[in-house]
Amino acid sequence: AAGVIQSPRHLIKEKRETATLKCYPIPRHDTVYWYQQGPGQDPQFLISFYEKMQSDKGSIPDRFSAQQFSDYHSELNMSSLELGDSALYFCASSLVDGGNYGYTFGSGTRLTVV
């Protein structure tokens, strides 16, 4: 069965560079969530989209932006990267009543900023 696809799997960037992470949700899922998990930390919610509109915003830095496209895939754009941005970024998708069905997570993108 199709799962949530994230690309790339690993990414190494230098400080002050820009990175773009992509998330392809499960077909027919209309909601995408982005989470950031730093080393040894629990996942922190960044932002979510429902039907291509931002539905909620968490602790996402102003240097980051995200959007959901017409095919429901989402991209997380990160600019002026800092060492502290090194983390596992994973997305999840769900149906509109995702609270009843749970979430399906991608494997994540491991970003390393050097």
Partner 1 sequence: AQRVTQPEKLLSVFKGAPVELKCNYSYSGSPELFWYVQYSRQRLQLLLRHISRESIKGFTADLNKGETSFHLKKPFAQEEDSAMYYCALSGPSNAGGTSYGKLTFGQGTILTVHP
Residues that bind partner 1 (CB under 8 A): 31, 33, 35, 42-43, 45, 48, 50, 55-56, 58, 90, 92, 94, 96-100, 102-108
**Residue 40 CB, nearest distance to partner 1 (Å)?**
10
**Residue 1 CB, nearest distance to partner 1 (Å)?**
13
Task: Give the residues across from 19 on adjacent strands.
Answer: 78
- Cβ neighbours, 10 Å, residue 95: 16
CA angle 17, 21, 27 (to 5 degrees): 170
Helices and strands counted in the chain (H then E): 1, 11
**Residue 69 CB, nearest distance to partner 1 (Å)?**
19
**Residue 5 CB, nearest distance to partner 1 (Å)?**
11
17 Cβ neighbours under 8 A, 6+ residues apart: 81, 113
Contact 107, 90 (CB under 8 A): yes
